[in-house]
Amino acid sequence: MSIRALRTFITIAQQGSFAAASLRLGLTQAAVSLQIKKLEEEMGAELFDRNAHKPQLNTRGLALLDEAKKIVAHYDSLKGIIHQDETFSGPLIIGSINTVQVNPLPSIIREIQDNHPFLQISIKSGMSAELALAVDLGQLDFAITTEPQSVMPASINWLTCYQEPFYVVAPKNFEEETTHGLLSNHPYVCFDRQAWAGRMVERRLRQDGIAPNETMELDSLEATLRMAEAALGVAIVALPESRRAEVAKTMKVVPFSDPPFYRNLCILYKNDSRWHTVIRTFHEALQKHNLNLT
């Protein structure tokens, strides 16, 4: 079995036909058909239903597809591993959600650049979903995001760094002491439902049978906090321990759920990245930062 044949098989599934796959791969349709024929012979089974107008993956082909993607992605990652010793120099573009840019990213970048002065780091901010797309398109070398809440391409992987619990945040003069009480009796300042963290909160509210009176939907966690601070409503935000303690000095901070409900922060990267050593270094630094807070 060749990696080339598996790539061809995956491309046919993605493009919807042998003809479209041949154009995508720059091969003749005869060459594509020959690769699939040899693959089917090696597998000992047909992978396509050829009775349809266009060949469609049959149940065996569908079963093979996910595993083929994993094999190709793992193969692609080998190049990055082989060249990992070369990765502490040159321009590095990192994506990051805004909350991580505030803390702990500045101190981590400072420490890494002090140890590796030939590494030229630049930062791009954004929401988790758009950062993930930028990684997949090769516009970012890796990104620090909320852990994916939807299926990622087989070419994308991630390392979980640490957890942040979700809290209900409200003005101290609000009398209620529970999530249900605060959300039932006061306006809800909602974090963007298209954001991965926002999706998590929305799903949990539905699971808990809570239907808050939403008055705002914002795309910034900091703005969401500020609105609650101004007594315009109640917010649900993920906070690291250091930030929770800071916010609790001036506001009421109640655990969102029992047991606690968390979001995972992770590093998203492509399997064939040349930055594997740098990614592991950032991963270790983020984990160490979190341990120092607990």
**What pLDDT, on a 0 to 100 scale, did the predictor assign at position 85?**
47
Q: What is the pLDDT of residue 146?
A: 96
Residue 164 pairs in a beta bridge with 263
pLDDT at residue number 22: 86
75: Cα within 13 Å, side-chain hemisphere: 11
Closest CA to 102 of 225, 1, 208, 231: 225
- Please give the single-letter amino acid code of residue 13: A
pLDDT band at 221, cuts 50/70/90?
A: confident
For residue 79, what pLDDT is reported?
61
Of 134, 151, 41, whose CA–CA distance to 95 is shortest?
A: 134
CA proximity to 243, closest of 259, 215, 269, 265: 265
3-state helix, strand, coil in the chain (%, to 5): 50, 25, 30
pLDDT per residue as tens digits for the range 64-108: 998 998 888 778 767 655 555 455 788 899 999 998 998 899 999
List the single range of 70-79, 95-104, 204-213, 222-231 with lowest mean pLDDT: 70-79
Q: Tally Cβ neighbours within 10 Å of residue 82.
A: 11
